[in-house]
Each structure stands twice: as structure tokens, then as C-alpha cells.
Amino acid sequence: MHRLWKRATLQVKRVKRPRTRRERPPPVAAVYPNHVWAYDFVQDQDMHGTTIYILTVMDEFPCEGLAIAVVGATSAEWMISVLTQLVARYGAPAYLRSDNSAEFVALAVQALLARRQVRTLYIDPGCPWQNGEEERFNGTVRDEYLNLQCFAAAAEARVHLETFRHHYN
């Protein structure tokens, strides 16, 4: 094949395709309490092997954990109920930072945030450092609590994690 290629004097032309780069807004840093909230999920299992999902919500300026909610299966309706309770308690933030997972980009969640005039800040895929404060909080929850405990059910985890959140704050 190589000999025929050389005899026909064929060449491989490398075509450089221009990369399309979209303009990204500069990252928003929290400058006062209730300015930027961040939320994300942590997964764990109970002693029976059932997956439990833990939604952590924090205010980035004082690095305060606002909520650690535990559920057996995630849904947009559940996320809306958690966010509604937090907004009723603390007031609506100016921004809400998260990744692009299905629960965070659900139309129902987007509609709630639009009604509350909360703007979303999505991090780039594969760039967890853009949500560094929340990732650190999740790491603390994992290292200082979840790795040391074994829960019988999601209800038990809910009670213990709320106690941990108060201790963390």
C-alpha cells in the first residue's frame, strides 16, 4: 500500500479547522451574603446498598451551608421544594451556581428561578474548580462525615446531616 501511495505521489493534506470559541462571561465572585449560592449533589449508600442523594446548598460569601437535603431519588419537583424553602427563609440570591446536570437545567427549576429573578451560573463541563467553594463543602461533608458514618435509611441520614450542617456552620 505504501509503495502504491508513493508511486501515485499522493499526499495527505491536513486541514486546520478554525475552533469556534464562544465568549464566556467573566466569573462572578460573591461579594456579599446572599449574592451567589452554589448547589450540587453528593451520592452515598445506606447499609442496605440503596443509593441516597444529598443536595448541598451553600452561600459562597460567608461559606455557610444553607441546606443538606437527603432523598432516595432526585426530581425537579423535589429540588423546587428545597429551593422554595431556602428562598422563603433567606431570601432569593442574585445568582445560583451549578453544573449542567439534568436536575439543575430542568425547565421547572429554570421557571422557578426566572420567577424569583435569580440568574444561573453554569460551570463548564469538566471544570469543577469553577464551583470551588461548593466542591470544597462537598468534600468536607464526604471526608468529615459520610466516610465515617453508616446510615440505615435516608431518614436517618437526613437527621444526622442536618446536625453536621449546624456543626459545620
What Cα–Cα distance (Å) separates residue 45 from each residue in 20, 57, 106? 42, 20, 25
CA distance 33 to 127: 25
Domain boundaries of the chain, sorted by first residue: 32-162
pTM for the whole structure: 0.82
Distance of CA 124 to the CA centre of its chain: 11
Integer Rg of the chain from CA: 22
Which pLDDT score is estimated for 125?
84
What residues are paired with 98 via a beta bridge? 122
CA distance 126 to 124: 6
Cα torsion 120, 126, 130, 132: sign: positive
- Summarize pLDDT for 90-136 with one digit per residue, the tens: 999 999 999 988 889 899 999 999 999 999 999 988 888 899 999 99
Report the top-level CATH class of 32-162.
alpha beta
